[in-house]
A and B are shown apart, each in its own frame.
Chain A
Amino acid sequence: MEKELWKGNEAVAEAAIRAGCKYFFGYPITPQNEIPEYLSYHLPKIGGCFLQAESEVAAINMIYGAAGCGVRVMTSSSSPGISLKQEGITYMCGAELPAVIVNMMRGGPGLGTIQPAQGDYFQATRGGGNGDYRHLVYAPATIQEAADYVQMAFDVADLYRNPVMVVADGMIGQMMEAIEWREMPKRELPEKTWATTGTKGERKPNVINSLYIDPNLCAEHNERLAAKYKAMEENETRWEEVNTENCEVLFVAYGTPSRITKAAIKLLEKEGIKAGLFRPITLWPYPSKQLKAAASQESVKAVVDFELSMGQMIDDVKIALEGCRPVTFVGKAGGVVPTPAEVAAAAKAAIGR
Chain B
Amino acid sequence: MAIVYQKSKGLTDAELHYCPGCTHGIVHKLVAEVLEELDLLGTTIGVAPVGCSVFAYNYFNCDMHEAAHGRAPAVATAIKRVSAPGTTVFTYQGDGDLAAIGTAEIVHAAMRGEKFTTIFINNAIYGMTGGQMAPTTMVGQKATTAPLGRDKDHYGSPIRMSEIISTLEGAAYVTRVSVHDLASLNKAKKAIKKAFQMQMEGKGFTFVEVLACCPTNWGKTPAASIEWLKENMIPYFPLGVYKDVDGEVK
Contact = CB atoms under 8 A, between A and B. Distances in A.
Given A197-B63, A199-B62, A207-B66, A71 B75 contact: no
B74 interface: yes
B65 A68 contact: yes
Nearest to A92: B68
B31 to A, nearest CB: 14
A205 B64 contact: yes
Interface stretch (B41-49, B119-127, B145-153, B159-167): B41-49
B79 A196 contact: yes
Interface stretch (A54-62, A176-184, A304-312): A54-62
A10 to B, nearest CB: 23
Interface in A179-216: 196-202, 205-211
Nearest to A66: B78
Contact of A196 (B42, B64, B104, B107): B64
A91 to B, nearest CB: 5
Contacts of B63: 196-199, 205-207
Interface in A86-135: 87-88, 91, 95
A63 interface: yes
A206 B60 CA distance: 11
Contacts of B71: 57-58, 61, 64, 87-88
Contact of A200 (B42, B78, B104): B42
B interface, size bucket: 35 or more
Interface string B55-90: 001101111111110010011111101111001000
B42 A65 contact: no
A208 B66 contact: yes
A65 B65 contact: yes
A62 B78 contact: yes
B81 A51 contact: yes
B179 interface: no
A73 interface: yes
B74 A58 contact: yes
Contacts of B180: none
A49 B68 CA distance: 23
B41 A211 contact: no
Interface in B125-139: none
Contacts of B60: 205
A53 interface: yes
Contact of B104 (A25, A58, A88, A95): A58
Contacts of A69: 45, 78-79, 82-83
Nearest to A199: B42
B65 A209 contact: yes
Contacts of B83: 69, 197-198
A6 interface: no
Given A25-B78, A61-B75, A65-B74, A54 B108 contact: yes
B54 interface: yes
B54 A65 contact: no
A210 B84 CA distance: 25
Contacts of B67: 61, 64-65
A329 interface: no
13 contacts: A53-B108, A61-B105, A62-B74, A62-B77, A63-B78, A65-B77, A88-B71, A196-B45, A198-B44, A201-B41, A202-B42, A206-B63, A211-B54
Interface of A: 22-23, 25, 49, 51, 53-55, 57-59, 61-66, 68-69, 71, 73, 87-88, 91, 95, 196-202, 205-211
Given A88-B71, A199-B62, A205-B12, 13 more contacts: A58-B77, A58-B108, A64-B68, A65-B47, A68-B65, A69-B45, A71-B82, A88-B68, A196-B79, A201-B42, A206-B63, A207-B65, A209-B57
| 4 A-B pairs with the lowest CB-CB distances in the bound complex, closest first | A65-B78, A65-B75, A196-B63, A61-B74
